[in-house]
């Protein structure tokens, strides 16, 4: 709950976060907050799915 409150400062009502905010949206807020804060996010086993392989090609085209 603390991460959601930090990610979206206007969401300070604990009852709303616990009982009404969809879990998927909460995780999306946290994920975006961590990326914007500079955390290194890795997609595990990128070669195991089509989207991951596409991202690998994009990264290689930029030399990353």
pLDDT in tens, 46-56: 888 888 899 88
Name the pTM for this structure.
Answer: 0.57
What does the mean pLDDT of the chain come to? 85
Residue 16 pLDDT grade (very low, low, confident, very high; cuts 50, 70, 90): confident
Residue 14 three-state SS: helix
CA distance 45 to 37: 24
- Read off the tokens for 50: 């089509």
Looking at residue 12, the DSSP 8-state letter turns out to be -
Percent of the chain residues topping a pLDDT of 70 = 98
CA distance 31 to 49: 21
Q: Catalogue the long-range contacts made by 6-10 (C-beta closer than 8 Å, 24 or more residues apart).
A: 6/33, 7/32, 7/33, 8/33
More confident residue, 49 or 11: 49
């Amino acid at each position: 709950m603390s991460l959601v409150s930090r990610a979206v400062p206007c969401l300070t009502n604990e009852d709303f976060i616990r009982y009404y905010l969809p879990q998927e949206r909460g995780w999306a807020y946290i994920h975006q907050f961590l990326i914007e804060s500079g955390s290194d996010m890795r997609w595990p086993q990128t070669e195991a799915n089509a989207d991951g392989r596409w991202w690998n090609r994009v990264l290689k085209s930029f030399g990353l």
